Amino acid sequence: MATFNEVLSRVKADIRELSVDETKARVLDNRSDSPVLVDVRERDEYEQGFIPHAEWIPRGFLELKIEDLVADRSREVVIYCAGGVRSALAARSLVEMGYERVYSMAGGFRAWKNAGHAFERPRVMSAEQIKRYSRHIMLPEVGEVGQGKLLDAKVLCLGAGGLGSPSALYLAAAGVGTIGIVDDDVVDESNLQRQVLHNIERLGMPKVESARKTLQALNPDVNVIPIEDRLDSSNIMDILANYDLVVDGADNFPTRYLLNDAALKLKKPVVHASIFRFEGQVTTFMADDEGPCYRCLYPDPPPPGMAPSCQEAGVLGVLPGMIGTLQANEALKIILGVGKTLSGRLLVLDALGTKFRTMKLRRDPDCRVCSKQPEDIELIDYEAFCSIG
């Protein structure tokens, strides 16, 4: 019969260890080829602090979840626990699963702190939040760290209408901590065919107030900020400055162009969409030096009267639900830093044919706005044009 210490000695002889300094040098430069750092401690230990960039998988779940986190078995993995014992046993287990380059950090998190290296403290969620967001927390791409990012995020929804309704509902359900709603309209009976934030008891109520009631009833974690106003050059910079990104559900061209230019000045991502009859479009403008902006596609607004509105041409009620939900998906990916956004691509939905197609969008090197430095961009208030949203 072998004692635990004898077993541990054999395990440590079989696996490879890194010192805390070696781990710091390999992991904290955060290169694309950096090792995956995995914290296998229990919740109460993790809440006391963790190494930056570490992925948290409690030891009891490691074998179940590691393949979702690290699919490539040739990828370098560094495991740590509190003192280096559980991580050694975990490293041997991963080697048995076929992982080729697995290390245990000697001395664990205790040695890391004693060496004076920086560490972070996670957001501590309540038991109610852990239950509410459990399906997010199960996803390795989200987890508790990602859910904390969502709770800390601030998203501005431009419009509480057809597109703003589904996108705001799903952002609130996902736990986006602050949602601003900009709209200067009131609830009308004709809205209820597609604008699912509202109901018949709220006819005549400002849409932003109706939206606030619906979203906070859905998720009390969310701070909903109603902004009963119309964006123009005098207020847009102050409003946008308070948010991380914008979900654009605007129904008129002047607002779209103004939003594009202001977002470029402030370097705010915009998830743009539009709908018309049975067709919807969605894309993302990242306000970086690679992807296009709205003016790369449409340099100038169309002449008045050239673009009929939904009031004139109609829209299938379910269409904004599908497109607005895609907008929410884009916003969540941006906040979490996962997946691939629609920057440089336009996704088009034909609801009658149930067909999606994707078109490439290219940045115009001579664009009159995004080719300029942010401080050189001027904001323009165009006269009202007909909508297509």
Of 301, 305, 302, 273, nearest to 162 by C-alpha is: 273
Q: State the average pLDDT over residues 326-345.
A: 97
User: Is 153-376 assigned to CATH 3.40.50.720?
Assistant: yes
pLDDT given for residue 130 in this prediction: 93
pLDDT given for residue 309 in this prediction: 54
pLDDT given for residue 145 in this prediction: 85
pLDDT given for residue 9 in this prediction: 87
pLDDT given for residue 386 in this prediction: 40
Superfamily covering domain 4-122:
Rhodanese-like domain (3.40.250.10)
Stated pTM of the model: 0.81
Q: State the average pLDDT over residues 325-338.
A: 97
Q: β-strand 102-105 against 16-18: which pairing, if any?
A: parallel
Token couple for 104: 């245990």
- DSSP code for 300: S
- DSSP code for 246: E
Contact status, residue 158 vs residue 249, Cβ threshold 8 Å: yes
Average model confidence (pLDDT) for the chain? 92
Q: State the average pLDDT over residues 120-139.
A: 91
pLDDT in tens, 68-120: 899 999 999 999 999 999 999 999 999 999 999 999 999 999 999 999 999 99
Q: How far is CA 371 from CA 229, 292, 367, in A?
A: 30, 10, 5
Angle at 317 between CA 316 and CA 321, to 5 degrees: 115
| pLDDT band for position 29 (cuts 50, 70, 90) | low
Among the residue ranges 162-176, 304-318, 338-352, the one predicted with the least confidence is 304-318
Exposure string for 224-244, b = 16+ CB within 10 A, e = fewer: bbbbeeebeeeebeebbeebb
Q: How far apart are CA 66 and CA 38, in angstroms?
A: 9
| Stretch(es) of the chain classified as CATH 3.40.50.720 | 153-376
pLDDT given for residue 2 in this prediction: 79
pLDDT in tens, 240-258: 999 999 999 998 889 999 9
pLDDT at 44 over 80: yes
pLDDT given for residue 387 in this prediction: 42
Token couple for 22: 């070696």
| Stretch(es) of the chain classified as CATH 3.40.250.10 | 4-122
pLDDT given for residue 32 in this prediction: 66
